[in-house]
Amino acid sequence: MIGLVGTKIGSSMMFSKEGIFIPVTIIKISENRIVQVKNVKKDKYCAIQVTVGKKKNNKINKPEKGHFIKYNVEAGVGLWEFRTNKNDKFFSGQSLNINILKDIKKVDITGISKGKGFSGTIKRWNFKSQDSSHGNSLSHRAPGSIGQNQTPGRVFKGKKMSGHLGNKKITIQNLNIVYIDNKKKILFVKGTIPGSSNSHVIIKPSVKIMR
């Protein structure tokens, strides 16, 4: 399903006509340029490849430069794909803008969450800490037992333990579009979305509409 690539600006708030407070996330949607159009005959599936923004020539490596020259499109920051139908008519160099969202009320937004580094089980998995007293001196934030008895005598794969937290692709579904500023090309959605400020996010019309 076709969508847009935007840049997360940050969080703010708005008030409805009834005076109701609405927490919003601001997303800047610059021009999305189609670089490559993929089809079933050549690529085994239908999709469009888009880029956003501009990239300086001294920051482009040879494979990237050759790819953009091949399709006669100005070099941008990053490449993203959106699946399409066989009957959809797109072409290289075509521009996609915020107007394609004008009749859409709910969107799914995908981004890369903030990386938190190495974290313990309490922060990573929301474990409860152990007693602060009653003989506990060194195990206040320890996860406790992670294994079984002699049979099977091992730790099962997938056990919730300490490790890398964040920096994962996350999709938030069914976010309401509060307001679209066509002049400034800014999208306001209700609630929060993954990623830090100035990070790229993918915006698609919601697949599972929930009331």
Q: Which helix (H) or strand (E) holds 125?
A: helix 121-125
Q: What is the pLDDT of residues 96-147, one digit of tens each?
A: 989 899 889 999 999 999 999 999 999 999 999 999 888 888 899 999 889 8
Please, which residues have CB within 8 angstroms of residue 109's CB and are 6 or more apart in sequence?
Answer: 27, 171, 172, 175, 189, 193, 194, 201, 202, 203, 204
Q: Tell me how far apart the alpha carbons of residues 80 and 209 are, in angstroms, rounded to a whole number.
A: 24
- Within 10 angstroms of residue 127's Cβ, the number of other Cβ atoms is 15
What is the sign of the dihedral through the CA atoms of 191, 195, 200 and 201? negative
Chain centroid to Cα 97, Å, comes to 18
Q: Detail the DSSP E strand segments found in the chain.
A: 4-15, 21-28, 32-38, 47-52, 77-83, 95-96, 106-112, 117-119, 163-165, 169-181, 186-190, 200-205
Q: What is the pLDDT of residues 135-171, one digit of tens each?
A: 888 899 999 889 888 888 899 999 999 999 999 999 9
Using pLDDT thresholds of 50, 70 and 90, give the confidence band for residue 210.
low
- Which pLDDT band, with edges at 50, 70 and 90, does 211 fall under? low
Return the structure tokens found at 108: 């799914």
Q: How far apart are the first and last CA of the chain?
A: 21
List of residues 6+ apart from 58 with CB closer than 8 A:
none
Q: Is 46 helix (H, G, I), strand (E, B) or coil?
A: coil
- Tell me the residue length of the chain: 211
Tens digits of per-residue pLDDT, 53-89? 988 888 889 999 999 999 999 999 999 999 998 878 8
List, for residues 11-45, the tens digit of each pLDDT value. Answer: 999 998 888 999 999 999 989 999 999 988 899 99
- List the beta bridge partners of residue 158: none
Instruction: Region of 127 please: left (phi>0), alpha (psi -120 to 50) or beta.
Output: beta
